[in-house]
Each structure stands twice: as C-alpha cells, then as structure tokens.
C-alpha cells in the first residue's frame, strides 16, 4: 500500500512564525509567540499579532565575512522589534565590521531551513 504524503509548506509557515508575537490583553506587553504567559504580569490572556518587521539590532552573536573581494557580512544577532519583542536574526549588509547595537534594520525575508529571519539595514 502506498502512502500519500501531503506537500510541506514549511517555508511559508516559518515566515509567519518569524514575525508572530503575543500581546497581553491586560497590560499590553509584547512577548515572543512561543511563550504562553505574559512575562510582565503573568497573564495567560494573550492575543496573537504580527510585527511590521522593523527594529534594531539588540546584540550580536557572530559575524561571517565573505571570501570574495567585496565588503559583505552576515551577522547573526537578535533584533529587538518595534513592537517590543526580540527574534533571532541574520543581518546581511555591505560592511567591513559588524553593525553596532542599535542599528535600524528591516525584515528582508527568510532563509529556507533556518529559524532566523533575514534582515537588512533600514
Ligand atoms: Zn501582561
């Protein structure tokens, strides 16, 4: 007997996950969508919302320089979105050194197979 597999729609789903967050119905604090309780007041009454995709680099965990003779970097970091929550991110930029904390970035898309969303300088 043959088993029919449903086509996977992982990429589209990952994209939605990257920018989803929860907002507390009581104190309006934003929190990561993986949390089930508000981190400020502890309420479980959370509404799901989507981020606009703009934020600033919170802290950097690593930088990869390309081997080519161009000044491009891939910086793995956390981006603090304007709505008030933080997501793991990869920032690609034309730069020589890592972008400093506080640099404004915007969502550029998603890297298939990676959890981190792709951002570029705003
Ligand atoms: Zn709350």
- Rounded to whole angstroms, the Cα distance separating 19 from 86 reads 10
**What is the CA(28)–ligand 1 centre distance, in A?**
6
Q: pTM score, two decimals?
A: 0.76
CA 19 to centroid of ligand 1, rounded, Å: 19
- pLDDT digit string (tens) for 34-46? 889 999 999 999 9
Where in the chain are the domains? 10-121
What does the pLDDT look like over 58-113, one tens digit per residue? 999 999 887 766 788 899 999 999 999 998 999 999 888 899 999 999 999 876 77
What DSSP state is assigned to residue 10?
H
- Closest by Cα among 103, 102, 93 to 73: 93
Least Cα distance to 117 among 11, 7, 9, 8 occurs for 11
Q: Ligand 1: distance of its center to the CA of 21 in Å?
A: 13
44 Cα: distance to centroid of ligand 1 (angstroms) = 8
pLDDT digits over 12-21, tens only? 444 455 688 9
Q: Name residue 49's beta-bridge partners.
A: 21
Centre of ligand 1 to C-alpha 30, Å, is 8
Q: Considering Cα of 86, then 87, then 93, then 96, what sign does the dihedral take?
A: positive
Q: Please name the residue ranges forming H helices in the chain.
A: 10-18
Ligand 1 centre distance from Cα of residue 47 (Å):
11
């Amino acid at each position: 007997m043959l088993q029919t597999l449903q086509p996977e729609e992982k990429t589209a789903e990952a994209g939605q996950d990257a920018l989803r967050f929860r907002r507390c119905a009581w104190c309006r604090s934003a929190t990561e969508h993986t949390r089930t309780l508000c981190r400020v007041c502890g309420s479980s009454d959370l509404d799901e919302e989507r981020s606009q995709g703009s934020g600033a680099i919170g802290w950097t965990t690593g930088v990869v320089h390309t081997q080519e003779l161009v000044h491009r970097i891939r910086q793995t970091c956390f981006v603090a979105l304007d709505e008030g929550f933080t997501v793991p991110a990869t920032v690609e930029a034309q730069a020589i050194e890592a972008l400093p904390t506080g640099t404004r970035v915007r969502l550029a898309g998603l890297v298939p197979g990676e959890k981190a969303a792709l951002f570029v300088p705003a």
